[in-house]
Structure 1
Amino acid sequence: MFFKENLKMALDSIFANKMRSFLTMLGIIIGIASVIAILAVGNGAASEITGTFSDLGATTISLSADDSEQSGDALSNEDLNVLKESIDEIRYISPDEQTQGTVSSDDESRQAIISYGTPDLQYVSQAMSSTLIEGRYFNQNDFDESADVVVIDEDTAEALFGRTDVVGENVKVTIAQTSLNLRVVGILEGRFGDMQGAFDTSELPVFLALPNSTLGNEIPQFSGMSSATVEVEETDQIEPVSDQMVRLLELRNNAVGDNIYTATNFLQALDQVNNVLGLFINFIAAVAGIALLVGGIGVMNIMLVSVTERTREIGTRKALGATTNTILAQFLMESVILSLIGGVIGLTLGILLSNIIAGALDIVPDITLGSVVLVLLFSTAVGVFFGIYPARKAARLDPIEALRYE
């Protein structure tokens, strides 16, 4: 009964001065809407970013060797073979290296980006993620025999031969002043098709890939490698496989305790990205939260005005038997309701705003139940905190002095 009476009186007071009540709530509305929109859009963007990268490398390990002191400790093809044969969880392993050179046919010559690795390169390299449209990738037999074979894309075929059905044709690849005569065994889908007409693609380098055993056999400086990309079957295999690879390489190359080999995984980098994004989002939300502080001060200011305006009412109620706690609860209730209504309006506006912004950015806003509950609790807390002083001032009024107030 006591609660219902205070609630009714608070609502009557709020709706009796609609414009003043709305302007009082405006700071809270803006603050809550800003915080909700920033958190929803920020978390949605973070989920989009981390989800995309996670799909690309959730089961990928980067294996590297620091050979700055002992060149013999660089990774070799034999090391990779031993790792793949010894650790069942390894699905694919290959250096994902690139260099630059030129590639030419009898009639044309172009600058080229040259990828090289094991036959598993087709699975671990983004550069080789295009669809194979003709022929084949280089295989284990090509790799073991250091065969003079190469895989090119449609753009390379068009640039050198003016056509794409060039499987079996020969090209000359020149790297570090050494030329290799290679036979085309496969054609990948071109990557410049969508750019036709936008600018002159003849100035862009073409792409090709070949076994690193072939490259190392012809050019000794490419026989070793400093890193390799490893893919495992499941995410939970990353840590144990990383440890096994490092230990096996240290034992195999007599480098125990030298910290030459390291295995890092994408999940570690993803955690760092999430931490940075989280800090940034929380900082922006905290800045937006300053509006809540301003809104709370507005609530306190209006409640103080309300106490002054209703001094005679307070005196009358106290003269009729209302206790100090009753008056305190009445004005505190009014403050809380002002803040709570502002919080609900701000929450609705924030959700609407976040959907509009997220739609423009083509992401899904991430609005959690915890965020909604937290916003409503925070609104209530603002009402309580900034309503205590005006409520206490009203409750402590002397009834005789209050009745004399003009």
Structure 2
Amino acid sequence: MTIRENFKMAVDSIFSNKLRSLLTMLGIIIGIAAVIAILSIGNGATSEITKTFNDFGASTISLSLSDNASTDATITDADINALKKSIPEITRISPDNTVTTTVQSDFESRTAVAFSGTTDLQYTNRSMESTLIYGRYFNQNDYDDAKEVVVITEDTATTLFNGRQNVIGEDIQLLSSAGNTVNLTIIGIVEGTFKELQGSFDLSQMPLFLALPLTTIEKLNPTLPLMNNLTVQVTDKDAIESVSNRMVRLLETRHDTVGENFYTATNFLQALDQVDSVLGLFVNFIAAVAAIALLVGGIGVMNIMLVSVTERTREIGTRKALGATTTTILFQFLMEAVILTLIGGILGLFLGILLANGISSALNIVPTITLGSVVLVLLFSTAVGIFFGIYPARKAAKLDPIEALRYE
């Protein structure tokens, strides 16, 4: 008997008992749908996180000074200048200094987050937008002379000045917990940090953001460690590892701390690799749990095939009496099991895609369905059919034709 004839007989057998076949495939359908949906949503979420990290700065390095470092290891302005001069791949570098304080105007007093650094802070500070709406950012003269100037977000402007945005030249005050006060003149307004969240959150509960020269924030708290962390942007993410190592070596040489491990350079690509690894393990674990449904479905296939063998005992006996070989009978029932699971796999695939699209839409992410995942899942469902179809097929093939013909 040819493969084509075996295939036709298997399909006829499956469709002659449509409801039973559908119920048999149900475990396969659910298992495949769950695996596809989980993999698609997991891959989509990973892509979103990767995009966020890339937007945040795939070519950004964070250099920090350890807590146990000696005073001699403190990073200085001279160190920053030496790093920029010695390592041409560095495009921008600024201390990453953040202080929670109170800011007040003639109209309002609110909690604020004050960022301070060099003139490069405009681009290295990821908590505030870099695009100016009014005025200018503080420059090198402002930094060198520790001028009492500040750049604020448009959210901060409207909150502190009764809805007005263009408040260039207005004055605000910063108050520290120690009681120190610094009067600042607003020289620039950047795009609002919470602009996209308007209508979703009560902006009155959000902190205000402002940026000023590192030399100016020192007046608020002279004992504040100002340069324990640097944010560095490089020309190319492929140069990150090289630049990180050279930065650490240069600082160790300048401060005579070689081997002390006072300086640590971390890049976002390393963090991204760790996030990808954790997400990959989590998604694969959940997918593996969902795949248990496939095994349950496989047991259902084996059960129904055993029932089918019992029901068709006389048919098997007749075919063997007419010359059908053991191999032919084995192949027929095995093909029937494979077709059953393959159809279930295809139905599960479409159901999984629908589920992935529905859930992803609710989570506002784009599901990622790879060709490799589709092929792998369909191969797995076929393998389930082969594995759980072997025993019933062998049982059918080994039936004695005389005993089979006597079966009632």
TM-score (norm 1): 0.93
- What is the CA–CA distance in structure 1 between the aligned matches of 2:107 and 2:44, rounded to whole Å? 52
Residue 204 of structure 1: how far off its partner (Å): 5.3
Residue 167 of structure 1: how far off its partner (Å): 2.5
Deviates more, 1:238-247 or 1:171-180: 171-180
1:251-400 alignment to 2 at 5 Å?
Answer: 251-400=253-402
- What is the CA–CA distance in structure 2 between the aligned matches of 1:166 and 1:52, rounded to whole Å? 32
Contact 1:95/1:227 (8 A) holds in 2: yes
Letter in 1 for 2:167: V
CA deviation map 1:280-328 (0-9, x unaligned) = 1111111111111111001101111111111111111112221111111
Contact 1:324/1:396 (8 A) holds in 2: yes
SS of the residue 2:360 aligns to: helix
Q: Which residue of 2 aligns with 1:245?
A: 247
Deviates more, 1:384-393 or 1:46-55: 46-55
Decide whether aligned partners of structure 1 residues 361 and 11 sit closer, same or farther in structure 2, where only a CA change above 3 A counts.
same
- What is the CA–CA distance in structure 1 between the aligned matches of 2:308 and 2:220, rounded to whole Å? 90
Letter in 1 for 2:278: V
Contact 1:217/1:223 (8 A) holds in 2: no
Letter in 1 for 2:372: G
2:227 maps to 1:210:
no
Q: Which residue of 1 aligns with 2:41?
A: 41
- What is the CA–CA distance in structure 2 between the aligned matches of 1:320 and 1:198, rounded to whole Å? 79
Contact 2:167/2:186 (8 A) holds in 1: yes
Residue 196 of structure 1: how far off its partner (Å): 8.0
1:2-401 alignment to 2 at 5 Å?
Answer: 2-105=2-105, 109-129=109-129, 131-162=131-162, 163-175=164-176, 176-191=178-193, 195=198, 199=202, 201=204, 205-216=207-218, 219-222=221-224, 224-401=226-403
- What is the CA–CA distance in structure 2 between the aligned matches of 1:11 and 1:196, rounded to whole Å? 57
- What is the CA–CA distance in structure 2 between the aligned matches of 1:319 and 1:105, rounded to whole Å? 101
Decide whether aligned partners of structure 1 residues 111 and 3 sit closer, same or farther in structure 2, where only a CA change above 3 A counts.
closer
Counting aligned pairs with the same residue, the percent is 65
RMSD: 2.2
Contact 1:212/1:222 (8 A) holds in 2: no
Residue 49 of structure 1: how far off its partner (Å): 1.7
Contact 1:61/1:242 (8 A) holds in 2: yes
Contact 2:57/2:268 (8 A) holds in 1: yes
TM-score (norm 2): 0.92
Decide whether aligned partners of structure 1 residues 196 and 254 sit closer, same or farther in structure 2, where only a CA change above 3 A counts.
same
SS of the residue 2:324 aligns to: coil
Deviates more, 1:210-219 or 1:370-379: 210-219
How many residues align? The count is 405
- What is the CA–CA distance in structure 2 between the aligned matches of 1:197 and 1:373, rounded to whole Å? 42
Residue 192 of structure 1: how far off its partner (Å): 5.9
- What is the CA–CA distance in structure 1 between the aligned matches of 2:377 and 2:166, rounded to whole Å? 63
Where in structure 2 are there 5+ consecutive unaligned residues? none
- What is the CA–CA distance in structure 2 between the aligned matches of 1:197 and 1:306, rounded to whole Å? 59
Contact 2:95/2:227 (8 A) holds in 1: yes
Decide whether aligned partners of structure 1 residues 154 and 45 sit closer, same or farther in structure 2, where only a CA change above 3 A counts.
closer
- What is the CA–CA distance in structure 1 between the aligned matches of 2:397 and 2:201, rounded to whole Å? 75
CA deviation map 1:336-356 (0-9, x unaligned) = 111111111111221222222
Decide whether aligned partners of structure 1 residues 127 and 20 sit closer, same or farther in structure 2, where only a CA change above 3 A counts.
closer
SS of the residue 1:221 aligns to: coil
Contact 2:182/2:219 (8 A) holds in 1: no
CA deviation map 1:41-77 (0-9, x unaligned) = 1111111122122221211111001142412212222
- What is the CA–CA distance in structure 2 between the aligned matches of 1:275 and 1:165, rounded to whole Å? 46
Deviates more, 1:302-311 or 1:104-113: 104-113
- What is the CA–CA distance in structure 2 between the aligned matches of 1:215 and 1:38, rounded to whole Å? 49
Residue 191 of structure 1: how far off its partner (Å): 4.4
Decide whether aligned partners of structure 1 residues 104 and 25 sit closer, same or farther in structure 2, where only a CA change above 3 A counts.
closer
Decide whether aligned partners of structure 1 residues 334 and 160 sit closer, same or farther in structure 2, where only a CA change above 3 A counts.
closer
Decide whether aligned partners of structure 1 residues 169 and 90 sit closer, same or farther in structure 2, where only a CA change above 3 A counts.
same
CA deviation map 1:258-277 (0-9, x unaligned) = 11111001111111111111
Contact 2:97/2:117 (8 A) holds in 1: yes
SS of the residue 1:133 aligns to: strand
CA deviation map 1:195-253 (0-9, x unaligned) = 5896582x654332211122336743236421111111211011111011001000011
Residue 18 of structure 1: how far off its partner (Å): 1.4
Letter in 1 for 2:407: Y
Letter in 1 for 2:169: G
- What is the CA–CA distance in structure 1 between the aligned matches of 2:209 and 2:312, rounded to whole Å? 81
SS of the residue 2:42 aligns to: helix
SS of the residue 1:134 aligns to: strand
SS of the residue 1:220 aligns to: coil
- What is the CA–CA distance in structure 1 between the aligned matches of 2:8 and 2:206, rounded to whole Å? 74
- What is the CA–CA distance in structure 1 between the aligned matches of 2:314 and 2:289, rounded to whole Å? 41
